[in-house]
Chains A and B, each alone.
Chain A
Amino acid sequence: MNRLKNDVPYGTLDLMILKTLERGPLHGFGLARRIEQVSENLVKLNQGSVYPALLRLQQHGWITAKWGVSETNRRAKFYSLTRAGRKQLRSEIENWERTASLMARFLATEP
């Protein structure tokens, strides 16, 4: 099922980014590719859209950015989770799981 490229709401993209960065710092391109991979290419987002999202997350203080060198010896900006970011991630996951189980129960009830 191919969802439209612009279909990913901000909230979801933010959460995906936070989760993806849990394992370690990534640069913008790497982050976008990882998200595509993890969702097994079911989600095709415009890769560029991570950048505004990254800025927003920075504004909230959940990630920080630092210029570094990529695997291919290129100068790139790397983003990593902050402690507040990890906390935020945990609470967001909780929220999702609660919502998901609620919906599951609701949808499972017989009319």
Chain B
Amino acid sequence: MLRRWLHKLVALFRRRRLDEELDEEIRAHLEMATEENLRQGMGPREARLAARRSFGGVDQVKEHHRDVRRFRWLDDLAQNGRLALRSLLKDLGFAAVVILTLAVAIGANTAIFSVTDGVLRRPLSYPDEDRIVTVRAQTRPETGGGGTSFSDRGFWHFVNNNRSFYIFAVYFTQSAPFTLTGDGDPLEVYAAALTASAFDLLGVLPQRGRLPTAEEDLPGATQVILLSDGLWRGRYGSDSAIIGRTLTVNGLPFEVIGVMPAGYDFPNPDIDVWSPLVLDRASENFSGHYIEGLGKRAAGSTVESEIVDAEGLISRFGEAGYPEEWLTGGFDGSAKVTPLKETIVGDSRQPLLILLGTVGFVLMIACSNVANLMLVRAEGRTRESAVRLALGSGRRRLIQQQMIESALLALIGGAAGVLLAFLGTRLLVSLAPASIPRLGEIGIRGSTLLFTTGLSVSVGLLFGLLPALRSSSAKSLAVLRDGGRGSTVGRERHRVRSALVVTQVALALVLLVGSGLMVRSFQELRTVDPGFQAGGLLTFGLRPLRTKYEGVEGIARLYDRLIEQLETVPGVLVAGGITILPLTGGRGYQTRLIEDFPLADGEFPPVFHIRRATPGYFAAMGVSVVEGRTFNQDDHNLRLGSIVISNSLKQKYWPEVSALGKRISGATVVGVVGDVHDSGLDTEVDEFIYHPMLDSVGGGVVAMTMVVRTEVDPVSIVPETRRLIGELDADLPITDVRSMSEVVGDSLSRTIFTMSLLTLAAAMALFLGSVGIYGVISYIVSQRTSEIGVRLALGADSTKVRRMSLMQGMRLALAGVVIGLLAAAAMGRLLTSLLYGVSSFDPVTFVGGSLIFLAVAAFAAVIPALRASRIPPAVALQST
């Protein structure tokens, strides 16, 4: 069989030659036969005829020969394909719309699905990861409610007494980066400290070297570190002798004992250095909660048993030596046990799910559009099919031809969709805010593409097949009889189509409302006064090495000198520094005691946001001064113990009187400044206490973010700034150079991203929805052309005709809008957390969206109506 197949394959390429050869053979045959007949005594003419007769039909032989020669099905397919192509080209508009719709459905859906999928569903890279959880002790809502981490004593208590955790460990992410010096420019790296048991728990071995041992967790052990793959490759050139090398971290020597594998990103992808977490068993620390709990479930225990266990342990923290106030005032007795994955991706889940829903909608709209279009086409060919059937064309052949048409459309649309998917994913990833975790790991997965392509293409094929089957059934012959009007098949199909359009409109409206809400929300956000002047402000971070300067005084002097120098740069107005820049997500809060308001029994001390600032900071940021003054040189040089508080703090405690002179935890208020949005433009302002660089109790500052107000474009002074800093201290890394406007923009990036996507989806939905309406009305009009013709001929007003068509379209649109509004109201809750200053039932958006849609629908319905009313009555009457 293979031999035959090969022969046929070869024959494909030698078609013409083989035809010629056969011709020659047949000619020779006939001539020889004629000759023989002549020899037998027939006349020339008779001889020829006889030869022909005994040969049989020449054309038949040739066709038969060709049949043997080729792949029959291939030729049939090619022929049908050519026919299909030709008929599609005739209806190019239809074909283009279907292909475009399919491409968008597949492309957009796959791209967004891939992004969502990549972040949410890809498993983390730890063995048995579904048994790993983070554990926090639940705190009372007044103190923040997010659950708190453990203290040393708490940890030991847990380790010694737990039952459901097979391993319980802790880790700690250094909030401030380490500075690596030597081997190049000073570099800031983020570090995490893990107990040896934490490394064991995660179960990932380094690609080189080893994990820390339990001994290295003890105080006094040699300082060791592990590097990330990225750091090892980038800074140390994949040096194979890296193990055992000593690096200088924060001025201190650390020995490299291992390199973690690529992609290891515990507890977050920014971490480049891991070190053992040193915990003293004899530690008295039970109040400083800073270490995160990590547990691995013993096989057989469940999340519930873990929670019970953890809660039991926490409630017995008293045994660990916790004072009563902490137990009753701080913890509420329950434990927060969360699977590891949620801790890492938790934040982004909701907006991404919204996006997923959005895209699902668009897919549904697109598919129903494709379905509709297919049905229209089939409708238009009912008569043609009926005629062909009556003329004897095989039913199967007819179906086959229509199927091939649908298949062709589906294939081209599918190919376009796949292309769009790749481009779209690339585009989305480049536009996404960096805050979305694990962005770099995202690519299109085969299964995703297969799913969306399969779905869309199936819809196309299905809606190509159904009408094909219907139209070739016996019923369709009836179509011929009553001239194409009012057939039951047609009416049923019309109902289906109307239902599809109404659904489209509803879905599109939901998207429109959603995106409208986001747009309004964004606008509201942009009008929020952040409390400072963002324009013309350069920011960058500095972290001087503590060991290089004599304590915090030396560092303060460094900053003083730096600011002095900066202010001499042409274009610079004023410069200052702050420990944590607003809107950068930094957190720094501590408890304080306000002298005027002593604590009652069992009351928990209030928590404030604490910052340290240089004298020029407030002026540079453009923060208003409400009362008193801001810092001067003396405040830090003489350690006067002055503080500046934010207005909200003053209003809370001293609404009627001046806050100047008030004492808070041993410091004196010298000024009140305006509130600043620190955690986000969309959150409440917090209560701030600003300290100078050095205060009266010996505390000081190390890392700061500098803010420089300029007359010129902030970025233009960057080179000069770098030079100045290099002169002052060559080992000082400069990080995060951004203008303040960029910082503000970045803080809004997630909102912008969500909003842009929703708007895009809404626009697509709007377009598709109106195409749907246009299609339905066109169809209705075309069906009624003869009726319209009669009416016009009988003197009906053409405006009346137009209105009739318009009304039909509007009725559909209205139905869709009503359903859509109800759906939007129901789903509005999903968006609530992303909205700012706008309720999820915002009437302006709802009404506005409906009006926009009705207007678009009216427009889409009017066009075919206009065309209908312009048809000369004679033509209309004819087209039966």
Using a CB–CB cutoff of 8 Å, the interface residues on chain A facing chain B are 5, 27-30, 32-33, 44, 46-49, 51-52, 55-56, 58-61, 70, 72, 74-77
Across the interface, which residues of A come within 8 angstroms of B29, CB to CB? 27-29, 32, 47-48
State how many angstroms separate the Cβ of A80 from the closest Cβ of chain B. Answer: 15
State how many angstroms separate the Cβ of A64 from the closest Cβ of chain B. Answer: 12
A28 and B7: CB pair below 8 A?
no
State how many angstroms separate the Cβ of A13 from the closest Cβ of chain B. Answer: 12
Across the interface, which residues of B come within 8 angstroms of A55, CB to CB? 65, 68-69
B56-92 contact mask (Cβ, 8 Å, vs A): 1 or 0: 1110110011011100000000000000000000000
Report which of B24, B35, B58, B68 forms a contact with A48, defined as CB distance below 8 A.
B58
A74 and B57: CB pair below 8 A?
no
Report which of A47, A52, A74, A76 forms a contact with B55, defined as CB distance below 8 A.
A47
Q: Assess A51 versus B7: contact at CB under 8 Å? Given A28-B29, A59-B68, A77-B25.
A: no
For the complex with contacts A48-B55, A52-B65, A77-B25, 13 further pairs of A-B residues with Cβ separation under 8 Å are A28-B25, A28-B28, A29-B33, A44-B54, A46-B55, A48-B29, A52-B61, A55-B69, A59-B3, A59-B68, A60-B4, A61-B3, A76-B25
Across the interface, which residues of B come within 8 angstroms of A27, CB to CB? 28-29, 32
Across the interface, which residues of A come within 8 angstroms of B56, CB to CB? 5, 46-49
Give the contact-size bracket for chain B.
20 to 34
Please, which residue of chain A has its CB at the minimum distance from the CB of B32? A29
Give Cα distance in the complex from A49 to B56, angstroms: 8
Across the interface, which residues of B come within 8 angstroms of A47, CB to CB? 29, 33, 54-56
Q: Answer yes or no: B482 CB below 8 A from chain A CBs.
A: no
Q: Answer yes or no: B656 CB below 8 A from chain A CBs.
A: no
Residue in A48, A56, A77 with the greatest tally of chain B CB atoms within 10 Å? A48
Q: Answer yes or no: B22 CB below 8 A from chain A CBs.
A: yes
Across the interface, which residues of B come within 8 angstroms of A49, CB to CB? 56, 61, 64
State how many angstroms separate the Cβ of B721 from the closest Cβ of chain A. Answer: 83
B32 and A51: CB pair below 8 A?
no
Give Cα distance in the complex from A77 to B545, angstroms: 96
Give Cα distance in the complex from A74 to B58, angstroms: 20
In B1-58, the 8 Å CB interface with A consists of 3-4, 7-8, 21-22, 24-26, 28-29, 31-33, 35-36, 54-58
Q: Assess A60 versus B61: contact at CB under 8 Å? Given A47-B56, A75-B24, A77-B25.
A: no
B61 and A48: CB pair below 8 A?
yes
Across the interface, which residues of B come within 8 angstroms of A51, CB to CB? 22, 25-26, 61, 64-65
B4 and A59: CB pair below 8 A?
yes
Report which of A5, A33, A52 forms a contact with B68, defined as CB distance below 8 A.
A52
A70 and B26: CB pair below 8 A?
no
State how many angstroms separate the Cβ of B109 from the closest Cβ of chain A. Answer: 48
Please, which residue of chain B has its CB at the minimum distance from the CB of A74? B28
State how many angstroms separate the Cβ of A86 from the closest Cβ of chain B. Answer: 17
Give Cα distance in the complex from A74 to B35, angstroms: 12
Across the interface, which residues of A come within 8 angstroms of B60, CB to CB? 48
Give Cα distance in the complex from A52 to B65, angstroms: 4
Please, which residue of chain A has its CB at the minimum distance from the CB of B1? A60
Across the interface, which residues of B come within 8 angstroms of A44, CB to CB? 54
Across the interface, which residues of A come within 8 angstroms of B69, CB to CB? 55
Top-9 shortest CB links A-B: A46-B56, A48-B61, A59-B7, A48-B56, A59-B4, A52-B64, A29-B32, A29-B29, A48-B55
